[in-house]
Amino acid sequence: MQIETERLRLRPWQERDVAPFANINADPEVRRYYYPSILTPAETADVIAECDAHLRQHGFAFVALERKTDAALVGGLGLSIAGDEIPGGPHIEIGWILGRPYWRNGYALEAAGACLEHAWRRLGLTEVIGYTSRINDPSRALMEKLGMLSDPAEDFDDATVPVGNPLRPHVLYRARPNG
């Protein structure tokens, strides 16, 4: 899976990404809407290995997001098969995580928009979902900016997050070709 935009490149993970991606996953501010929060370097390496296996098996995955001008690892973004815990599945989901220095440059919007175009035109998909904690305002705003729609009737609790934790209530968004 290789996708180029004006400023960015989505491409398979490389060995040199492990350290910078581990730094991103060790930042509590970046991971504030994740449960569990920060990841160890070994856990980040496991995530990358899982993404590589997903890419080999399905031809798409959550992949590395690189800036073209300096080859900096901006973060990770891409498509993956959602877990069984997401209601109404099976689903293919879009996901993203960017290092803090790269926020608010329009990078996530640029890369995610191109990724959805890839889903429609190259992969022939007819729907991609996104989901996040109800309180994750940045990701919700990004999904809305991408034209994704949510229906409160589809809100769900992430059973992997303890009852009473504010990250447990989740919202589900759907993207379809042409809006």
Give the pairing of strands 62-67 and 128-133.
Answer: unpaired
For the CB of residue 125, give the shortest distance to ligand COA in the complex, in Å.
Answer: 20
CA atoms within 13 A on the CB side of 6: 7
DSSP designation for 17 = G
**DSSP conformation class of 159:** T
Query: What minimum distance in Å lies between the beta carbon of 131 and ligand COA?
Result: 7
Decide: 91 and 14 in contact? Cβ < 8 Å.
no
When the beta carbons of 124 and 179 are compared against ligand COA, the nearer one is: 179
- Helix, strand, or coil here: 64? strand
Specify the residue, 101 or 124, whose C-beta has the smaller distance to ligand COA: 101
In the bound state with ligand COA, the residue whose beta carbon lies nearer, of 59 and 141, is: 141
In whole angstroms, the minimum distance from the beta carbon of 151 to ligand COA comes to 18
Judged by DSSP in three states, 117 sits in helix
Identity of the residue, 1 or 98, whose beta carbon is nearer to ligand COA in the bound complex: 98
| Smallest gap from residue 124 Cβ to ligand COA (A) | 25
Can you tell me which residue has the tokens 């991606």? 21
Residue ranges in contact with ligand COA by CB under 6 A: 30, 33, 96-98, 103-109, 132, 136-139, 141-142, 145
